Amino acid sequence: MSTGTFISFEGIDGAGKSTHIARVADLFRQAARAVVLTREPGGTPLSEKLRELVLHEPMDPLTEALLMFAARREHLVQVIEPALARGEVVLSDRFTDATFAYQGGGRGFDWQVLTQLEGMVQALPNHTLRQPELTIWFDLDPVIAAERLASARVPDKFESQPADFFAAVRDAYARRQAEMPSRFARIDAAQSMEAVGADVSRTVSEWLKRTAA
Ligand code: TYD
């Protein structure tokens, strides 16, 4: 089985996660670990093409969920599993919790169907599911996130959703955490950038100590 480390980063748009992922990569590099920085949807040439479609084209909710999982399957097979098998650290800017949060919570798509797709796409030969060992969830009030995004950039299909969409996305992240508490670490993303960064570094360091023990 794999000897690598798989960490995902999650949160509603505007929570500021991307800034902190590079810092986590540095933590691992300082410990002489090879790091693969990647993202979803995306991470392979085909998955990046699917990303373009899914972030910009209007489509049926099932089509959207299937494309997210299709991109994920390719990402797992081409990038994540090989890196973990080599013992590397995979840091993914979003993974499957985002589908539960956005397609499940935001869009209201059936949670059980998502669970079935997850079971199909993330199945391992030993019949367990590939999941991140640690998921850093940048939790933020959607009102604050919207203020941050307003000054940022041209919004994609999800970023232009109304505040109640993001409230539902946030609730769905909380539901995922409740379903799988052992791998989730919630970070209060309303704090200053420095305080969030310190929380993230502490969380990863403590997690590493715990899992090495
Ligand atoms: P994001 O990760 O925020 O990237 P960027 O910082 O470049 O905008 O954008 C990805 C968007 O895709 C985000 O709005 C969440 C959405 N998404 C889903 O709806 N479902 C998924 O399964 C994933 C991985 C992402």
pLDDT tens, residue order, the chain (213 aa): 558 999 999 999 988 898 899 999 999 999 999 999 999 999 999 999 999 999 999 999 999 999 999 999 999 999 999 999 999 999 999 999 999 999 999 999 999 999 999 999 999 999 999 999 999 999 999 999 998 888 777 788 998 898 899 999 999 999 999 999 999 999 999 999 999 999 999 999 999 999 886
- Residue among 156, 166, 173, 176 whose CB has most ligand 1 atoms within 8 A, to mutate: 156
Q: Is the CB of 40 under 6 A from ligand 1?
A: yes
The residue ranges of every structural domain in the chain are 5-212
For 5-212, which CATH class? alpha beta
Report the separation in Å between the CA atom of 85 and the middle of ligand 1, taken as the mean of its atom positions.
26
Q: Is the CB of 141 under 6 A from ligand 1?
A: no
User: What is the DSSP code string of the chain?
Assistant: ---SEEEEEEESTTS-HHHHHHHHHHHHHHTT--EEEEESS-SSHHHHHHHHHHHHS---HHHHHHHHHHHHHHHIIIIIHHHHHTTPEEEEES-HHHIIIIIIIIT---HHHHHHHHHHHSB-TTS-B---SEEEEEE--HHHHHHHHHTT----TTTTS-HHHHHHHHHHHHHHHHHSGGGEEEEETTS-HHHHHHHHHHHHHHHHHHHH-
Q: Is the CB of 102 under 6 A from ligand 1?
A: yes
